Structure 1
Amino acid sequence: MKRLFAAIISLSVLAPAAKAQNDAAAAPQKAPIALTGGTIHTGTGQVIENGTLIFDKGKITYVGAATTSFPAGTETVSVVGKHVYPGLISPANQLGLVEIASVRATNDQQEVGDYTPNVRALIAYNTDSEVIPTVRGNGVLITQATPVGGVVSGMSSVMQLDGWNWEDAVLKKDDGVHLNWIGYFRRSFDGTGVSTVKNDKKDEQLHELDQLFNDAIAYAQSTPATVNMKLEAMKGLFDGSKNLYVSADYGKEIIEAVKFAKGKGVKKIVIIGGEESLLAADFLKENQVPVIVNTTHRLPNRTDDDTDLPYKLPYLLQKKGVLVGLGYIGLHWRTRNLPFLAGTVGGHGLTPEQALQLVTLNNARILGIDSYVGTLEKGKHATIVVSAGDLLDMRTAKVEKAYIQGKSVNLDDKQKKLYRTFSEKYGR
C-alpha cells in the first residue's frame, strides 16, 4: 500500500513537469518548399519585391524574382504581403545555459577558477530550455552559447535554436575562447547597485595571464606526451581555427588587450562589449578587429557624450571601417529583443538593410559561420524567418513561420500557452 501511495505521489509530481516540456524538435524537411510572393530581405543589402525563395533538403536552391518553375513535389507557401529574412544571430549570451537566474541549480554558465579555457559551453547547452522558444518567436534562430566568469572563461559554441540535444543543435562547436580583459577598474555589485572600483590586482593577474599564453604557445609548438586540456583548448588561437573573444569596454583597455593578443600570435581577435570602442576605432580598423556591440538601449558612460551615442555607435564604427555586430550580451532571455535593438540602430545613421546586417551577415562573419547562414543565398542553410510586418519594428513584427535548415519550427512557447490558458479562464 505504501509503495502504491508513493507511486501515485511521484506521478502527480511528474505529470505537471511532463506537461510543461517543450514541443518535440522539428522533423527534417521532406519535400521542396517555395515561399512565394513576399518581400525578401536577403541580408546582403538586396530587397526583392514579390520574390520567391525555394529550399530543399535544408538548403536554399533559389532566391530571386517570382517564378513558376518549381521542382516536382514542391509545397508552395504564399507569403504575399509578408517579409522574409535570414534567421537572426545572437552572439555572446547564456541562452541555453541559464534557465532561472535566481535559481542556482538552473545555472550552468560558469565553472570554478579564473583560468578555465577548457570549459565547453557546448555540453552544458540545454535544448529543453523553456526560454529558447520565446526567443525564436522573435526571429532569433541562432545563438552563441558563451561561458562567463574568471579571466579566461572557456569556449563558446554556435547553436541552432532547435534540436533534441546539443549534438543536434550545434552549428559550430568550440568556435572560440573567451577572455575578460584585466582592466584598471572593475565593476562591483554590492546588493544596492553597481559601482566601479580600482583593480589592485591588475599586475598580478596580467602576469598570470601572460604565463598562461606563454605556456600555450610552447605547448602548441611541441608534441607533448601528455595532453594538457587547458593548453589544448588554446591551440586554435594560434592557427586561426578559433577566435579570441575579448570582453573590454574602455578605449585604453581595448587597445591594450588587442596588443597583448597580437603579441602572443593570436590570429583572430573579437572585442565584445566595446562601450568606448569609438575611441579606438582607427586602431581596430588597422588591426582588422571586429566589435560585437552590447545593447544600445542605455545611456552613455560619459556625462559629456551625446545622449543617443549608444544608438549611433554601430553606425559610427561602421563609418570608420570597423566590422560591427550587435548583441544582447549575457542576458539570455532578453536576447529575444535583438531585432528591436537593430531597429533602433537603424534610426540612427544606418539604413534598414544595414541594420539587419548587424544581426545577420555581420554577426555570421564575426563568428565564422557566414558560409552557412547570415544571408538568403543559393547553397546556404534554409534558416529563414517569415514576419507579417517589419521584423525590426516592435510595433509591427509578427513572426509567423520559421525554418532552421529547412525544418519548420514550432513557434509556440510557454508564455503563449499561459496567455491562452488564462484568456480562456477569464473569458478574454
Structure 2
Amino acid sequence: MKKLLIPILTLAALTSYGQNPAPARPQTKTTALMSGTVHVGNGQVIPNGIVLFTNGVITNVVDGTIVKLNLSDVEVIDVSGKHVYPGFISPASTVGLQEVGAVRATVDKQEVGILNPNVRSLIAYNTDSEIIPTIRNNGVLLTQAMPQGGTISGSSSIMMADGWNWEDAVLKKDDGIWLNWPAYFTRDFNFDDFTTVVRKDEKRASAIEALRATFADAKAYAALSNQTPMNLKLESMRGLFSGKQNLYIRADYGKDIIDAVTFAKSVGVQKVVIVGGEEANRAVTFLKENNVPVILSGLHRLPNREDEDVDLPYRMPGILQKAGILVGLSYADEWWRTRNLPFLAGTASGFGITDREEALKLVTSNTAKILGIDNLAGTLEKGKQATLFVSSGDALDMRTNVIEQVFIQGRKVNLDDRHKRLYKTYKDKYEQK
C-alpha cells in the first residue's frame, strides 16, 4: 500500500500545480491601502490617497495629507509609490464561455437557431477557465459574458473574475439582450489571396421583417402581467420595454448603425447600445442626438476602407468622446486577448484623448454606466464595492502594468495563473544550464 501511496500523492501534487488558485475568502478585517496614487476613475487623482474598505465595500477614499483616519484594528497595506485603480471592466466578452477555439467541447458561446432571446450566457460561464486568472493579472476584474450566434443571440450577464461557480461570480444577471443587426454588406476573408470580399446581403429585408414581428409580439406580451402559460422567448425580452435591460446591437457600417437604432426606437426599446461601431464616426451626430452609447471593439486594427487614415481606429474613442458620446472599449471575439484591454485605453490616450484619466474612463466609469453597474463599480467611491487593484506603475502602459494586489468585493485574490507557471517552469529550466 505504501508503494502505491507515493505515486498517487506525487500525481495529486502535479495535478494541483496545474490548477487555478482557489477563489478568495471573504474579507474579515477592515483594510486600508495607504499612501498610493489613487485613480478614482471619474477623472480625479489623489496623489497621497487612502482607500478604506470593509465587508467588501469602500467606506472612505481620502487625501492622506489632509484627512487623518483612525486606523486602529485595521489591516494597513503600504502602497507608497504605487497606483490604485478601480477594477477594469471588459464588456462584450466571451471570457468564461470559450477556452480553446479549435476544441468544440470548450466552446459554449452560442446556441443553434436564429431568434434565441431566452438563451442565458450566465449559466454557461465557467469560473474554472484558465483565461480568467490572466485577465486579473492585468487589472480586468469584471467581464460581461455575452452570447453570440443567430440574429437575437440571448442575454448577457456581468461576472466577477473570481468565484467557485457562476452563482458566486455573477454581479448582475441578464443585463441585456444581444442583436446581430442584418447588415447591408457582409465581409468574408479570402485566405487564398489574403483579401476581404464584400458582398451584399440579399436576405437583409426579410431578416428585419422577422425581427419586427418578434419585437411586436414581445412588446404586446410585456404589456401583460402574470401571463400563463409563460412564453420564455417573449418573457426574456420584457425588460427591453421597461428600461431594465439594454438592447446591445452589433453593427459596424454607419448606415447600419442609424438603421439599427431607428428600428429599436420604433419598436419601443428604451435603452440601446451599439457594439462594434467601426464606422461610428460616420454617425456621430445621430448617436449624440439619440443618446446612444458605443462599445468599440478592437482598436488595434487597420481601417476597413482604403481611403481612411491608417490611425482612424486609434482615434475613434477620442472622436466619439469629444462629441459627447459615452464610449467603452472591448476585445469582443478575441477573448484570449482580453487581458490587453487596458492597453486599448492607453492607445486611445495617445491618439486624441490627451488626458490620461479621461482615457481611464473608457475601461472603468464609462463602461460601468453603459452596463448599468455604476452604482457598484467603475470608480473608487464610498459605498461602491471594493473591486480594485494595486499596480507598481501606470496600468494603461504595458511596460509598467505590473499588478501586485487584487481585491474583488474586498476579497484578496491569488494572482497565480498559467502564464506565470509556464514562465517559471522554463525560466528554471534554462537557468540551470
User: What TM-score do the two structures reach when normalised by structure 1?
Assistant: 0.95
- Aligned with 2:267 (options 264, 277, 299): 264
Task: Tell me what 1:144 maps to.
Answer: 144
- Aligned with 1:51 (options 49, 52, 77): 49
Cα deviation, 1:270-327, whole Å, max 9, x if unaligned, reads: 0001010111111111111000011111111222222111111111111111111111
Given the alignment of the two structures, is residue 364 of structure 1 paired with residue 368 of structure 2, yes or no? Answer: yes
Q: Distance in 2 between matches of 1:363 and 1:222?
A: 33
- Aligned with 1:214 (options 213, 216, 227): 216
Q: CA deviation at 1:191?
A: 5.5
Q: CA deviation at 1:336?
A: 0.5
Task: Tell me what 1:63 maps to.
Answer: 61
Task: Tell me what 1:418 maps to.
Answer: 422
Secondary structure of the corresponding residue to residue 310 of structure 2: coil
- Aligned with 1:199 (options 185, 198, 201): 201
Given the alignment of the two structures, is residue 404 of structure 1 paired with residue 402 of structure 2, yes or no? Answer: no
Cα deviation, 1:248-283, whole Å, max 9, x if unaligned, reads: 000000000000000011000000010101111111
Q: CA deviation at 1:19?
A: 4.0
Q: Distance in 2 between matches of 1:42 and 1:370?
A: 13
Q: Distance in 2 between matches of 1:206 and 1:10?
A: 60
- Counterpart mapping for 1:332-411 below 5 A: 332-350=335-353, 351-411=355-415
Q: Which amino acid aligns with 1:398?
A: V
Q: Distance in 1 between matches of 2:80 and 2:429?
A: 35
Q: Which amino acid aligns with 1:129?
A: S
Does structure 2 retain, via aligned residues, the 8 Å contact 1:32–1:71? no
Cα deviation, 1:28-70, whole Å, max 9, x if unaligned, reads: 0110111111101000111111111111110111111115423
Secondary structure of the corresponding residue to residue 333 of structure 1: helix
Secondary structure of the corresponding residue to residue 301 of structure 2: coil
Q: Distance in 2 between matches of 1:281 and 1:24?
A: 45
Cα deviation, 1:342-366, whole Å, max 9, x if unaligned, reads: 0010011211000000000000000
Q: CA RMSD in A?
A: 2.0
Q: Could you say if the C-alpha distance between residues 16 and 201 of structure 1 is closer, same or farther in structure 2, counting changes exceeding 3 Å? A: farther
Q: CA deviation at 1:328?
A: 1.0
- Counterpart mapping for 1:80-229 below 5 A: 80-189=80-189, 192=192, 194-223=196-225, 224-229=227-232
Q: Distance in 2 between matches of 1:287 and 1:385?
A: 35
Segments of structure 1 that go 5 or more residues without pairing to the other structure are none
Q: Distance in 1 between matches of 2:72 and 2:171?
A: 30
Q: Which amino acid aligns with 1:273?
A: G
Q: CA deviation at 1:206?
A: 1.1
Q: Which amino acid aligns with 2:408?
A: I
Secondary structure of the corresponding residue to residue 426 of structure 2: helix
Q: Which amino acid aligns with 2:237?
A: M
Q: CA deviation at 1:222?
A: 2.3
Segments of structure 2 that go 5 or more residues without pairing to the other structure are none
Q: Which amino acid aligns with 1:203?
A: A
Q: Which amino acid aligns with 1:26?
A: A
Q: Could you say if the C-alpha distance between residues 316 and 118 of structure 1 is closer, same or farther in structure 2, counting changes exceeding 3 Å? A: same
User: What TM-score do the two structures reach when normalised by structure 2?
Assistant: 0.94
- Aligned with 1:20 (options 18, 21, 25): 18
Cα deviation, 1:126-145, whole Å, max 9, x if unaligned, reads: 00001100111000000000
Secondary structure of the corresponding residue to residue 222 of structure 1: coil
Q: Could you say if the C-alpha distance between residues 321 and 68 of structure 1 is closer, same or farther in structure 2, counting changes exceeding 3 Å? A: closer
Q: Which amino acid aligns with 2:335?
A: H
Q: CA deviation at 1:190?
A: 5.8
Q: Which amino acid aligns with 2:261?
A: V
Q: Distance in 1 between matches of 2:166 and 2:189?
A: 33
Task: Tell me what 1:79 maps to.
Answer: 79
Task: Tell me what 1:30 maps to.
Answer: 28
Task: Tell me what 2:243 maps to.
Answer: 240
Q: CA deviation at 1:393?
A: 0.5
Cα deviation, 1:191-234, whole Å, max 9, x if unaligned, reads: 65553322111111111111111111111112432111111110
Q: Which amino acid aligns with 1:153?
A: S
Q: Distance in 2 between matches of 1:267 and 1:49?
A: 40
Q: Distance in 2 between matches of 1:249 and 1:11?
A: 54
Q: Which amino acid aligns with 1:270?
A: V
Q: Distance in 2 between matches of 1:130 and 1:252?
A: 39
Moved more, 210-219 or 63-72: 63-72
Percent identical pairs in the alignment equals 57
Secondary structure of the corresponding residue to residue 127 of structure 1: coil
Q: Which amino acid aligns with 1:200?
A: E
Q: Which amino acid aligns with 1:207?
A: E
Alignment: residue pair count: 423
Does structure 2 retain, via aligned residues, the 8 Å contact 1:153–1:179? yes
Q: CA deviation at 1:187?
A: 2.7
Q: Distance in 1 between matches of 2:181 and 2:11?
A: 46
